[in-house]
Structure 1
Amino acid sequence: MIIVCHINTKITTVTALDNQKIEFDYHGTIAGGLQQIAKQFPEKKILWCHSAVKERLNFEAIKTLFHHDKMMLSFSSPQHNFFDTKIGYVEGSLFINVNKKVSYPTWQMSSVAGVIHASVLNALKDKIVCTADFDYYLCSIAKIGMPLGLFCYSEPGLLKSGELKRMPKAGIYTLFRFVKQHYKTRWVFLLVLNLVLYERKFHVLPLLFSLFYKNRKNNTLNIDSILVQSSRKTIDTATVDVIIPTIGRSDYFYDVLKDLSRQTHLPNKIIIVEQNPEEFSKSELDYIYEEKWPFKIDHFFIHKAGACNARNLALHQTESEWVFLADDDIRISELFIQKTFESIHKFGVKSVSISCLQKREKQVFKNIFQWRSFGSGCSFVATQILNNCNFNMGYEFGFGEDSDFGMQIRNQGHDVLYLPEPEIIHLKAPIGGFRTKPVLLWQQDSIQPKPSPTVMLYIISHNSKEQLRGYKTTLFFKYYKYQKIKNPYRYFKMFQKQWDQSIFWANQLKKVS
């Protein structure tokens, strides 16, 4: 491990882990220095820190936390983010509102302390400009690298406890420049609009200056040559229970059971929650008892519809080391469970969501990366995590329960990775979706909420104030062409009423959870 200490814009010392000083040219930028060191030591981890926190570096923890070479870890306290909360006006993802108490996925890196492998810097050499602003350079690497499969985290374990030195923050010109270089051009204009609408500030010059910068998206960037083999052990017994809620899909569900029975790595138990809200109805899954199956089956037949309730019931019945959350209309290959465990072992994670596409649907994402969501019908999760998770009943019969469940996992310090393979084929059975007609709380309102209150519930639960406002602006423009009112002023008044209704009902749903 090579340790690079800096003050402001200059490197002060470069040492090995045994404190041996390394000869180095200290005249360039910190970013340029990291590139030189990476070239000189291509097999080493490179740790950077501000000189004020060097004595607080947690070297023993770093060895465990940095468990494979395709990672980038960094940390600063909540008060020391380089970009302030205004970045939420242009990005609504979970990478913005960072939980600094746990290891949390984000591209928001810091010059306070961090670590990266030299192979990543060498792969990106000459592709990302070594700017004098070190924080900007680090955020740029992470923002560009994450979709390519670079795993970036805010990691409090890098430093021992104590107060952090106050570090520089990005000014408004830097913010606009970053947006122009890392997002589509329209977002700099939306940033201006949001700042006018919500902060009464009109930043003309930062906007104009940002237009002179080129976008850094580069299709030639590739870090696939960096091999991954995690040193973290996340699999012991490799036993797995499968949770499947079902209603009115006996034929499709039979095929799912057959696919599971043919697995090269058999599940330990299948937990089935069959729902039929009709009071005197009976189970349609006779084949569960009539045929022999190579695994245990726990079958629950209930007269209450709802996937959240069904999955929560099933979660209490799990016994194995892992849980596969599945749907009742999917098809999987014989090697599905085996290959999934191989990827989990390789990357050392405790939660993955797997590609789940319909027939003839093209694969958009072809590499493993940090997922922005969570699939409640296509995910493997370590059981120890699930002890503190449940499907929030406020989302029942709506949308967002899977994303909320994923956030519960992340807020415990566990990431969710996306696996492009092994693939799950989602048949989207014609009797699928919400096969019962629930009476929603807002169904009879004269003014219908927009967006759906369950979507709003997720936003107010997990996003920042700026992200909520940014979402409102984009929804205003997107929804305009789909509604009947074409007078802009009348449309705005109606939209505001619908938005207020959504906020109201989302807060009511919050009480249900």
Structure 2
Amino acid sequence: MRIAILNYNNNSKKWEFNGTPFHSFIDGLKELSNKFDVLGWCYFPEDKPILKASIIKNKTNELPELVSFGSQLFLENSEYLEAQNPYFNSFSTGEKGQYDTWRVRSNAGYISSIIIKEFLTTKFPSSYKVCLGVLGYYTFRAGGLVSVSYNKSLTSNKIEGLTNNEYIEVISFTRKKHWIFYFLINLFLFDKKIVIPIKYLFKNNYILIEHRPSLWSKVSKFSVDVSSKSVDVVIPTLGRADFVFQTLLDLNDQDIKINKVILVEQKLPNQKETLLRKTLDYNWKFNLDHVLLEELGLCNARNVGFGKSKADYIVMLDDDIRIDNQPNILENLIVKLETSKAQIISFASNNIKGNTFSEMSYFVSGCSFLIRNNNILPFNLDIEGMGCDDQEYNNNVHDNHQRVIYTNLEYINHLRAPMGGWRFDAKEFLPWYDGGIVPLPGPVTLHRFLKYATENQLKGYKFFVFFKYYKFKIWKYSLFNKRWNKSLLWANKIIEGKVKLDIKSGVLKN
């Protein structure tokens, strides 16, 4: 493993490698990426031995990863824009180990040259701190791993956080132009600060960083003894017998041995017995564990499936998916999970109608993820039938410092079956639609922000929602505030466990 570590020369104010200075931090990384496997950097020279030892210990030269160390998450001083986009979120605030976030620490770090090579022609800011923030975001967007290390051996030297103007420069590289105006107005409203970034008011450096499958091309060749691992598949189902059968036919063609498929069937209203007799009587290569639940609820069904597995890994799928021409999809997912030491790998869902991949670099989707069968977090039963269960689960796993990675090299076709499943007319049975005023945003969404966002993030989110729906109609603020307060009321009731729904009333009969 070839390692190069950049040092910051406090006298020349330049980043150097073996005495050779570079015009900027990113120029140094780009130039060295063709000669070395791992590129490190130290702002304080006394941290160099500790950093080098960490690089050697972790052996991540082939893994597309950025790991940073230091005294603080130096972007913490500005949070108004971050609650709306999980890439910008700071869910994890404790020190339980490494966790995935685009946020980075400022004292030291290292990155695989695989990532830098993907950005050789990409424009970056010249300032170290701004560049590091942008590099973390670009890496995460491209599908790499961005982690924070809580190594206590490093010096306690601190680097100042970003100024407002520096943070605006980060925004200009990572968000579209109108987000700068959102941030400026938030600063004025909540911090009573007026900032006029002339340089970025009419010029924006934003580019769309797309997921790069090439980052993981070498990882799939790593040697992992998949044959020693056991895999179960959990499929909650409701009224989709024919679709479930097709899904299992695809699983039957997998090269890796599946221990068992756990079918958690929920009864439709007036359903007397299972609808899956054809599936249950078929001669599958794997064991079939069928559960017939009297009560409805997707969150509950998924949790029941989790509880019935003792395998090393669990694959969570919907009951209307197809796996086309990918007999080694499960094997490839396990290799990536083992190599990255992640807890969850989320894979792409390809909607046949639109034929487009859904980008889920930060998102755990209940229809397409593989998880280690240890420290599994349950789906939240408090929002059963209210929607947003995947979003809630996503926030929860990040808040609990569980590493989530994403791939679109492996994918499923999600048929989105037009029958069975979950078909609710929310306005008919959700209690907050009574009384004339419709809450905004939905209480389930707001309850998630109350649980996981910071106070500043919540302020920024409220401001964002107003502009999204009312633009510059300031005279509408009184109405909006009533809608927000109604949502807030019900969001708190959800958190307190005071909202219980009759889910059966929301399910259409076949």
Sort the TM-score into its range (normalised by shorter chain). 0.7 to 0.9
Structure-2 change in CA distance of 1:115 and 1:247 (3 Å): same
Task: Indicate the percent of aligned positions where both proteins have the same amino acid.
Answer: 23
Deviation of 1:311 after TM superposition, in Å, equals 0.9
Match in the other structure for 1:363? 356
Provide the rounded CA distance (Å) in 2 between the counterparts of 1:287 and 1:212.
63
Is the CA contact 2:143–2:212 (under 8 Å) kept in the aligned structure 1? Answer: no
Match in the other structure for 1:148? 142
Q: Aligned to 1:166, which of 146, 158, 163?
A: 158
- SS of the counterpart of 2:485? helix
Deviation of 1:380 after TM superposition, in Å, equals 1.1
Q: Aligned to 2:20, which of 21, 25, 38?
A: 25
Match in the other structure for 2:64? 70
Match in the other structure for 1:17? none
Provide the rounded CA distance (Å) in 2 between the counterparts of 1:12 and 1:177.
20
Match in the other structure for 1:394? 382
2:438 corresponds to 1:448: yes
- SS of the counterpart of 2:104? coil
- SS of the counterpart of 1:298? strand
Structure-2 change in CA distance of 1:177 and 1:62 (3 Å): same
Cα distance per residue 1:45-73 (max 9 Å; x no partner): 43434235446547257532636342211
Q: Aligned to 1:209, which of 187, 196, 199?
A: 199
- SS of the counterpart of 1:512? coil
- SS of the counterpart of 2:199? helix
Aligned partner of 2:188: which letter?
Answer: V
**Following superposition of structure 1 onto structure 2, how do residues 175-190 of structure 1 map, counting pairs within 5 Å?**
175-190=167-182
Deviation of 1:134 after TM superposition, in Å, equals 1.4
Match in the other structure for 1:195? 187
Structure-2 change in CA distance of 1:432 and 1:277 (3 Å): closer
TM-score (norm 2): 0.83
Match in the other structure for 2:246? 255
Is the CA contact 2:280–2:288 (under 8 Å) kept in the aligned structure 1? Answer: no
TM-score (norm 1): 0.83
* Uncovered stretches (5+) of structure 1, i.e. residues with no partner: 15-21
Match in the other structure for 1:267? 258
Aligned partner of 1:265: which letter?
Answer: I
**Following superposition of structure 1 onto structure 2, how do residues 338-349 of structure 1 map, counting pairs within 5 Å?**
338-346=328-336, 348=340, 349=342
**Following superposition of structure 1 onto structure 2, how do residues 416-435 of structure 1 map, counting pairs within 5 Å?**
416-435=404-423
Cα distance per residue 1:384-431 (max 9 Å; x no partner): 242xx0001122112222223233333444432332243322222222
Is the CA contact 2:258–2:286 (under 8 Å) kept in the aligned structure 1? Answer: yes
Provide the rounded CA distance (Å) in 1 between the counterparts of 2:56 and 2:482.
51
Match in the other structure for 1:406? 394
Q: Aligned to 1:3, which of 2, 5, 10?
A: 5
Provide the rounded CA distance (Å) in 2 between the counterparts of 1:440 and 1:414.
32
Structure-2 change in CA distance of 1:9 and 1:345 (3 Å): farther
**Following superposition of structure 1 onto structure 2, how do residues 249-398 of structure 1 map, counting pairs within 5 Å?**
249-276=240-267, 278=269, 281-333=272-324, 335-336=326-327, 338-346=328-336, 348=340, 349-364=342-357, 371-386=361-376, 389-398=377-386
Is the CA contact 1:265–1:335 (under 8 Å) kept in the aligned structure 2? Answer: no
Structure-2 change in CA distance of 1:253 and 1:219 (3 Å): closer
Cα distance per residue 1:199-228 (max 9 Å; x no partner): 33332x22x232365415278997947853
Deviation of 1:36 after TM superposition, in Å, equals 4.7
Provide the rounded CA distance (Å) in 2 between the counterparts of 1:220 and 1:34.
21
Provide the rounded CA distance (Å) in 2 between the counterparts of 1:234 and 1:73.
27
Match in the other structure for 2:479? 494
Structure-2 change in CA distance of 1:9 and 1:447 (3 Å): farther
Match in the other structure for 1:460? 450
2:108 corresponds to 1:116: no
Is the CA contact 1:105–1:370 (under 8 Å) kept in the aligned structure 2? Answer: no
Match in the other structure for 1:104? 99
Provide the rounded CA distance (Å) in 2 between the counterparts of 1:48 and 1:223.
29
Is the CA contact 1:234–1:350 (under 8 Å) kept in the aligned structure 2? Answer: no
Provide the rounded CA distance (Å) in 2 between the counterparts of 1:374 and 1:456.
19
Structure-2 change in CA distance of 1:505 and 1:155 (3 Å): same
Deviation of 1:176 after TM superposition, in Å, equals 1.7
Aligned partner of 2:490: which letter?
Answer: W
2:86 corresponds to 1:94: yes
Structure-2 change in CA distance of 1:431 and 1:86 (3 Å): same
Q: Aligned to 1:128, which of 123, 128, 131?
A: 123
Deviation of 1:323 after TM superposition, in Å, equals 0.8
Cα distance per residue 1:118-151 (max 9 Å; x no partner): 45445534633462x3121222222233322333
Match in the other structure for 2:504? none
Aligned partner of 2:479: which letter?
Answer: M
Is the CA contact 1:146–1:370 (under 8 Å) kept in the aligned structure 2? Answer: no
Is the CA contact 2:239–2:268 (under 8 Å) kept in the aligned structure 1? Answer: no
Provide the rounded CA distance (Å) in 1 between the counterparts of 2:252 and 2:288.
11
Deviation of 1:306 after TM superposition, in Å, equals 0.9
Provide the rounded CA distance (Å) in 2 between the counterparts of 1:220 and 1:320.
34
Match in the other structure for 2:503? none
After TM superposition, the structure 1 stretch with the greater mean CA deviation from structure 2, 240-249 or 284-293, is: 284-293
* Uncovered stretches (5+) of structure 2, i.e. residues with no partner: 499-510
